[in-house]
Amino acid sequence: MMGNFGRNLALWVVIALLLVVLFNQFQPGGGKPPEAQIAYSDFIGEVNGGRVRSVTIQGHNVSGSMTDGKAFQTYTPDDQSLVQHLTDKGIRVVAKPEDGDVSPFLHYLLSWFPFLLLIGVWVFFMRQMQSGGGRAMGFGKSRARMLTEKQGRVTFEDVAGIDEAKGELQEIVEFLKDPQKFQRLGGKIPKGVLLVGPPGTGKTLLARAIAGEANVPFFTISGSDFVEMFVGVGASRVRDMFEQGKKNAPCIIFIDEIDAVGRHRGAGLGGGNDEREQTLNQMLVEMDGFESNEGVILIAATNRPDVLDPALLRPGRFDRQVVVPNPDVAGREKILRVHMRKVPLASDVDPKVIARGTPGFSGADLANLVNEAALLAARLSRRTVSMAEFEDAKDKVMMGAERRSMVMSDAEKRMTAYHEAGHALCGIYEPDSDPLHKVTIIPRGRALGLTMNLPEGDRLSYSKSYLLAKLVLTMGGRVAEELIFGPNQVSNGASGDIKQATDISRRMITEWGMSDKLGMIAYGDNSQEVFLGHSVTQSKNISEHTAREIEAEVKQMIDRAYARAREILTQHIDELHLLAQGLLEYETLSGEESRMVMRGEKIEKKVVDEPMPETRRSSVPTTSRPATPPPGEGFGAATQPG
């Protein structure tokens, strides 16, 4: 490659030098002896002396030759009598226009330049097609890449916490290694496997493990690689991809994020959608059409199975749908142990404790947790990573990074302390709430303070009493502000709490049938987003009267939670003051430390030797709250906004 580049470069350098030489040769006066520059007065003297043979006048430039053959050049002012004077002396005078000195070479070059440019472009494309295997015109070629054993080999030993999904895929690997074992009883290898699960659960990692274990050709491609601005390119790439698979059968083709090309047909939102549908139609035909694809196994991954076309999901195309969920506590422990292999751990590190304290974490979240703990220990110049670093890293991942450089006024700190104390106190005295894990008034992420409640175990479903307790907990911050500072001095710090409470109560009424008045009816279930591939004609299925009843029920449910929070804080107003003072003194309190402060006991806080910023710069505090998962989707692991 470098040799061809060097030869091409040398060729173009030689051509450029030849052009420069030709340009100089064809310039006016090219090849002639140089002309001597003389003063205008000397020129007049030579004319009067009869020593000038001929003169060429071009604007103000005067050149010519002497009687002895020497050439000269001078510059003349506006002298109208010069020509008459020269002719009187019998000197031959030639006049030229000022811009008329264009070489014939440049004239021909400008005339032929467009044609030469077209020829050059044509030659360039022909050479690219010959040397690059048609890359310049190969829009319709598949972009699938074959993985080799040297490219970051991953095995099933590197996959932990998703044993059921791993078992399903290990069976496919065994089929490829020993097909007779299954064919003896009439079994057929699955044509396709769809990996479904939330982001970060290990779908792509499972595919890489299959590539490392199967010992067959493994092609990988992204769903977006089929989409192109040229019509018909996507379908052509699908055909070429399966042609490569047939030539290398038995093999595995992995399509990551297949929802980019496999979305539901029929939305009809423009030409781009038609091109995507053509690509999907071609994929459906290739997966299970008239031609057989024996030995070509298609594995795809998506976190949006609800938007995939039903024809893509039927048996014969994707025979298996393997769900890859967030791991449970045992799975989280296994994943932590895998990621801790290369991390020097202190003796007090217990993966079981960390796993119990990270409900709702995905495999990617746990990998990030271990990495953050290692970075924190390195920043503190530790030799090993201790449990304290893992706890700090967990708080950073769940609640955001601390912003100790933010300067808050005493009034804002006091307001934040009572706000968070209100949340914490409602969580402690509401029996169906998750236990209090930590409360802080140190700004983290976009919040000025946070109260975090964690469940004692993995929570897979949510009772009505739990959700009502969650509503009470969200109202605790605003109620505490009203009780201490008065109704007219409340802040906008409860904006996130109000949004979360509205979302929880609305879903309880319209989706989960937890309203005694409206009953067990799903309202608005036919109003999916059009751009997710559903029909354009879908609309809301509720009347204006029902919508008003829903709004009234939402308000009534939030009002009851507000009244309950006010009852709790009024009964325990002394503990509210103690907890707020403890937050102002210690800034961060765990659940047990919060109870000690409420009992009036002193606590000992360990001094963290992390270097603090040399200067604290002032910044405008914000009361925006970090986004929280909607109820029913990892709600047990959600951090409570302050």
What the chain holds in terms of domains, given with CATH numbers, is 36-96 (3.30.720.210), 145-265+274-323 (3.40.50.300), 329-399 (1.10.8.60), 410-523+545-599 (1.20.58.760)
**Cα angle 296, 297, 303; round to 5:** 145
Total number of residues shown for the chain: 642
Is 497 among the annotated ligand-binding positions? yes
Q: Which residues of the chain have pLDDT under 70?
A: 1-14, 16-35, 98-111, 113, 127-152, 228-232, 267-273, 289-293, 525-540, 605-642
For residue 552, how many C-alpha atoms fall within 13 Å in the half-sphere facing its CB?
9
Query: Is 213 among the catalytic positions?
Result: no
State residue 9's pLDDT score: 61
Q: How far is Cα 462 from Cα 512, in angstroms, rounded to an integer?
A: 10
Is 626 among the annotated ligand-binding positions? no
User: What distance lies between CA 402 and its chain's CA centroid?
Assistant: 24
State residue 102's pLDDT score: 55
Q: Name the token pair of 66.
A: 């002497």
Is 437 among the annotated ligand-binding positions? no
Write the pLDDT tens digit of every residue in 100-128. Answer: 555 566 666 666 767 777 787 777 777 66
Is 190 among the annotated ligand-binding positions? no
| DSSP alpha helix (H) spans, 27-146 | 40-48, 82-88, 104-131
Q: How far is Cα 554 from Cα 30, in angstroms, rounded to an integer?
A: 93
State residue 463's pLDDT score: 92
Is 200 among the annotated ligand-binding positions? yes
DSSP 283-342: HHHHHSSSS--TTEEEEEEES-GGGB-HHHHSTTTS-EEEE-----HHHHHHHHHHHTTT
Is 197 among the annotated ligand-binding positions? yes
User: What distance lies between CA 19 and its chain's CA centroid?
Assistant: 50
State residue 583's pLDDT score: 92
State residue 610's pLDDT score: 44
State residue 19's pLDDT score: 65
Residues 139-158: b if buried by 16+ CB within 10 A, e if exposed: ebbbbbeebeeeeeebebee
Is 203 among the annotated ligand-binding positions? yes
State residue 473's pLDDT score: 94
State residue 43's pLDDT score: 81
Q: What is the pTM of this model?
A: 0.66
Which residue, chain included where needed, has tokens 């907890």? 579
State residue 468's pLDDT score: 95
Q: How far is Cα 322 from Cα 303, in angstroms, rounded to an integer?
A: 12
Q: Which of 454, 470, 447 is nearest to 641 (CA)?
A: 447
509 within 8 A of 519, measured Cβ to Cβ: no
Is 622 among the annotated ligand-binding positions? no
Identity of residue 429: Y
234 within 8 A of 271, measured Cβ to Cβ: no
420, 430, 481, 575: which one is catalytic?
420
Q: Which of 475, 478, 425, 417 is nearest to 450 (CA)?
A: 417
Q: How far is Cα 491 from Cα 416, in angstroms, rounded to an integer?
A: 9
Write the pLDDT tens digit of every residue in 515-561. Answer: 888 888 888 754 444 444 444 444 567 888 888 999 999 999 999 99
State residue 25's pLDDT score: 54
Write the pLDDT tens digit of every residue in 282-304. Answer: 888 888 766 666 778 888 999 88
Is 76 among the annotated ligand-binding positions? no
For residue 70, what are the β-bridge partners?
A: none
Is 621 among the annotated ligand-binding positions? no
Q: How far is Cα 568 from Cα 426, in angstroms, rounded to an integer?
A: 7
Q: Name the token pair of 255.
A: 């399509």
Q: Which of 33, 65, 61, 39 is nearest to 51 (CA)?
A: 65
**Cα angle 150, 246, 292; round to 5:** 145
For residue 168, how many C-alpha atoms fall within 13 Å in the half-sphere facing its CB?
19
Cβ contacts of 138 within 8 Å, gap of 6 or more: none
336 within 8 A of 350, measured Cβ to Cβ: no
Q: At what angle do helices 591-598 and 573-586 cross, to 10 degrees?
A: 120
**Cα angle 309, 314, 316; round to 5:** 130
Is 201 among the annotated ligand-binding positions? yes
Give the helix/strand (H/E) hosting 590.
Answer: strand 588-590
Does residue 250 have a cis bond before it (omega within 30 degrees)?
yes
State residue 623's pLDDT score: 34
